[in-house]
Homo-oligomer: A and B are copies of this chain.
Amino acid sequence: MNSMTTRRTVRSYSDRPVEDAMLQDLLNTAFRASNTGNMQVYSVVVTRDPDRKKLLAPMHFNQPQILQAPVVLTFCADLNRLTKWCRQNKANPGYDNIQSLTFAAIDTIIAAQAFCTAAEEEGLGICYLGTTTYNAEQIAEALKLPQLVIPITTITAGYPKEHDQSPLPDRLPLTGIVHDETYQDYTPDVIGQIYALKESLPESLSFIELNKKETLAQIYTDIRYTKDDNEHFSKTWIDAIRKQGFLK
């Protein structure tokens, strides 16, 4: 399980193809993961066609890995299959609501992450595209998702173009994330300690200088994950949830 501790996100892939048989093995492994009531309320749409990657690319803000990766997987919460099965078996389904979407989305991410771990163990590199829930409605249209199916995350996968020797990205100290018995809320001092390493990294300092900011936190609030964007994409996400049939 060494691959789990030394892994890194891979955004640049070699020409070596990802064979269908391997992809199927990895997905079969992924679907062994836990899921709610063994209902498996998810679907995966596999994109290899360059034209369809081009169609998807702007929905992911043209992150280059979507065109460059041999395979793009859109992991979707899927209550359509279960609902259809119920309807043709004299059963009255009630899965067009937020709690059903929530357990389906959780199961979808569990499967996606199990896929990533299995893929990395086989030498592949992966990248999550968090843009999936920003533009879910357009992605649903592009992939022809019916009612009660909604994209939750997208993973690009392929063999890494090169062996990256740079240090692994930083992580917050465990004490900043793990709480004993009850949540210990953070004092200003503790916040300072938790983020001290991140703030001191050369790339953080260079981001701040490059963007003419005062603090690293401003890089997040003013550039990368702004209030305006988060509020705008909250609206588009709720609209997509409504349009796909999970909210009246």
**A72 to nearest B CB, angstroms?**
10
From B1, B88, B143, A121 is in contact (CB under 8 Å) with B1
* Interface residue? A243 (CB, 8 A): no
From B85, B99, B114, A233 is in contact (CB under 8 Å) with B99
B95-A230 in contact (CB<8A): yes
In angstroms, Cα B98 to Cα A49, docked, is 33
A149: chain B residues within 8 A (beta carbon): 183
* Interface residue? A18 (CB, 8 A): no
A89-B185 in contact (CB<8A): no
List residues 26-56 of chain A with CB under 8 A from any CB of chain B: 27-29, 31-34, 36-40, 42-49, 52
A1-B29 in contact (CB<8A): yes
In angstroms, Cα B208 to Cα A13, docked, is 50
Known: A1-B29, A113-B33. A85 touches B40 (CB 8 A): no
In angstroms, Cα B145 to Cα A207, docked, is 33
A37: chain B residues within 8 A (beta carbon): 130, 220, 224-225
B43-A221 in contact (CB<8A): no
List residues 171-203 of chain A with CB under 8 A from any CB of chain B: 171-172, 174, 176-183, 185-186, 188, 191-192, 194-195
In angstroms, Cα B92 to Cα A216, docked, is 12
Chain A interface residues (CB < 8 Å from chain B): 1, 4-5, 7, 9, 24, 27-29, 31-34, 36-40, 42-49, 52, 76, 80-82, 84-86, 88-95, 97-100, 102-103, 105-106, 109-110, 112-114, 116-118, 121, 126-128, 130, 133-134, 143-146, 149, 152-153, 168-172, 174, 176-183, 185-186, 188, 191-192, 194-195, 214-218, 220-222, 224-228, 230-231, 233-234, 237-238
Between-chain CB contacts (< 8 Å), 11 pairs: A4-B32, A5-B29, A5-B32, A34-B116, A34-B126, A36-B130, A36-B225, A39-B225, A40-B177, A93-B227, A106-B152
